[in-house]
């Protein structure tokens, strides 16, 4: 296992291809560990990690906590609701108070883009970005790439379609950066109101026809509509969105090839994916959840070596 070129995991943009391959190769070894009868290794014994979440999370938070415990780290959980943040304490003061208790690493989710980057320049601990607003979600992109690689092998030349709410998705941007560094071709698909202007400057194809995107791709990574981030209406109704951009099993069966179906969760069943598509043999959604633990173990282990 070689070292990473960075002290913090703030975004895929900061990683090079060697870093990504190192994380994915290390994750493959940890996946073997978590499928043993005894799932723990002492790799991070005596390391204390704080999970500092200023936004709601189920999968990411549980996945990080499980990864930390599988590595034998001591874990501290912090939630903004019910903390001194509600009394007006700043982000930096909050984290410095946690670090005063001798914490070695911070895993942070925040609603403001750039919050982990700000923190990384002001504290001595390693910082892992678990999602910052609509900016990046690096560990999700890494686990998506790991899941694709497990299913398809080398991703160079593979065609990946990212379908749904691209504008408000941190997963989309991290996936674009990650998959391009691994040599994949990317297409984004969704209503024109949910695809950012100038996205084509990142070297991605753009489509507004979901059937065209499915016929083109080897993997369809479907994103949910992030209503909690939308200040205005971007389309008339969820029913209309589902009619034009929802994916069902009949559409998958009509393709003259097998494609892989992915979703970072949580799924809004009946909107972007029908239940028969989400639960079909095409889907590797639960594999993504399992792989998330191995990938996050790899990230924490490699950063702890820095």
Is 170 annotated as contributing to ligand binding?
Answer: yes
What is the 3-state secondary structure of the chain?
Answer: CCCCCCCCECCHHHCCHHHHHHHHHHHHHHHHHHCCCCCCCCCCCCCEEEEEECCCCCHHHHHHHHHHHHCCCEEEEEECCCCHHHHCCCHHHHHHHHHCCCCCEEEEEECCCCHHHHHHCCCCCEEEEEEECCCECHHHHHHHHHHHHHHHCCCCCCEEEEECCCCCCHHHHHHHHHHHHCCCEEEEECCHHHCCCCHHHHCCEEECCHHHHHHHCCEEEECCCCHHHCCCCCCCCHHHHHHHHCECHHHHHHCCCCCEEECCCCCCECCCECHHHHCCCCECHHHHHHHHHHHHHHHHHHHHCC
Within this chain, do residues 191 and 165 fall inside the same structural domain, yes or no?
yes
Within this chain, do residues 172 and 272 fall inside the same structural domain, yes or no?
yes
Between 148 and 237, the higher pLDDT residue: 148
- pLDDT value of position 55: 87
Is 60 annotated as contributing to ligand binding?
Answer: yes
Is 36 annotated as contributing to ligand binding?
Answer: no
- pLDDT value of position 230: 59
Within this chain, do residues 280 and 180 fall inside the same structural domain, yes or no?
yes
Question: What is the pLDDT confidence band of residue 84, given thresholds at 50, 70 and 90?
Answer: low
- Domain membership flag for residue 170: yes
Between 168 and 186, the higher pLDDT residue: 186
- Domain membership flag for residue 167: yes
Within this chain, do residues 131 and 187 fall inside the same structural domain, yes or no?
no
Within this chain, do residues 64 and 166 fall inside the same structural domain, yes or no?
no
Section 27-50 average pLDDT: 96
293: domain range?
8-136+289-305
- Domain count of the chain? 2
Within this chain, do residues 36 and 130 fall inside the same structural domain, yes or no?
yes
Within this chain, do residues 99 and 213 fall inside the same structural domain, yes or no?
no
Among 91-100, 183-192, 206-215, whose mean pLDDT is lowest? 91-100
Is 266 annotated as contributing to ligand binding?
Answer: yes
- pLDDT value of position 80: 75
Section 38-55 average pLDDT: 94
Question: What is the pLDDT confidence band of residue 45, given thresholds at 50, 70 and 90?
Answer: very high
Within this chain, do residues 218 and 148 fall inside the same structural domain, yes or no?
yes
- Domain membership flag for residue 160: yes
Is 137 annotated as contributing to ligand binding?
Answer: yes
Within this chain, do residues 151 and 276 fall inside the same structural domain, yes or no?
yes
Mean pLDDT across the chain, nearest whole number?
Answer: 93
Section 248-268 average pLDDT: 94
Within this chain, do residues 146 and 206 fall inside the same structural domain, yes or no?
yes
- Domain membership flag for residue 3: no
The string of pLDDT tens digits covering residues 200-232 is 999 999 999 999 999 999 999 999 987 655 566
- Domain membership flag for residue 1: no
> Global pTM?
0.94
- pLDDT value of position 227: 60
Would the pLDDT of 118 be above 70? yes
The string of pLDDT tens digits covering residues 125-160 is 999 999 998 899 999 999 999 999 999 999 999 999
Is 117 annotated as contributing to ligand binding?
Answer: no
- Domain membership flag for residue 227: yes
CATH number at residue 168: 3.40.50.1370
Within this chain, do residues 146 and 278 fall inside the same structural domain, yes or no?
yes
Question: What is the pLDDT confidence band of residue 306, given thresholds at 50, 70 and 90?
Answer: confident
Is 197 annotated as contributing to ligand binding?
Answer: no
- Domain membership flag for residue 2: no
Within this chain, do residues 144 and 280 fall inside the same structural domain, yes or no?
yes
């Amino acid at each position: 296992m070689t070292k990473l070129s960075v002290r913090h995991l703030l975004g895929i943009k900061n990683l090079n291809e060697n870093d990504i391959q190192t994380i994915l190769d290390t994750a493959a070894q940890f996946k073997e560990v978590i499928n043993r009868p005894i799932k723990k290794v002492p790799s991070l014994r005596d390391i204390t990690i704080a999970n500092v979440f200023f936004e709601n999370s189920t999968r990411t938070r549980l996945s990080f906590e499980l990864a930390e415990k599988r590595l034998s780290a001591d874990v501290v959980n912090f939630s903004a609701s019910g903390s001194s943040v509600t009394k007006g304490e700043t982000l930096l003061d909050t984290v410095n108070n946690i670090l005063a208790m001798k914490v070695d690493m911070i895993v942070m989710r925040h609603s403001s883009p750039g919050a982990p980057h700000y923190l990384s320049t002001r504290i001595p601990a390693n910082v892992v970005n678990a999602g910052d607003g609509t900016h990046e979600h690096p560990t999700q992109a890494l686990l998506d790439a790991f899941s694709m690689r497990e299913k398809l092998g080398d991703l160079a030349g593979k065609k990946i379609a990212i379908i749904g709410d691209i504008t408000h998705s941190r997963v989309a941007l991290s996936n674009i950066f990650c998959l391009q560094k691994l040599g994949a071709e990317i297409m984004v698909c969704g209503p024109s109101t949910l695809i950012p202007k100038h996205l084509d400057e990142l070297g991605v194809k753009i489509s507004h026809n979901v059937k065209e995107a499915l016929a083109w791709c080897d993997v369809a990574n479907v994103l949910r509509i992030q209503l909690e981030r939308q200040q205005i209406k971007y389309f008339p109704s969820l029913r209309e969105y589902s009619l034009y951009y929802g994916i069902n099993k009949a559409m998958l069966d009509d393709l003259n090839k097998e494609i892989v179906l992915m979703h970072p969760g949580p799924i809004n069943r009946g909107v972007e994916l029908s239940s028969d598509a989400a639960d079909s043999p095409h889907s590797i959604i639960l594999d993504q959840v399992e792989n998330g633990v191995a990938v996050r173990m790899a990230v924490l282990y490699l950063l702890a070596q820095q």
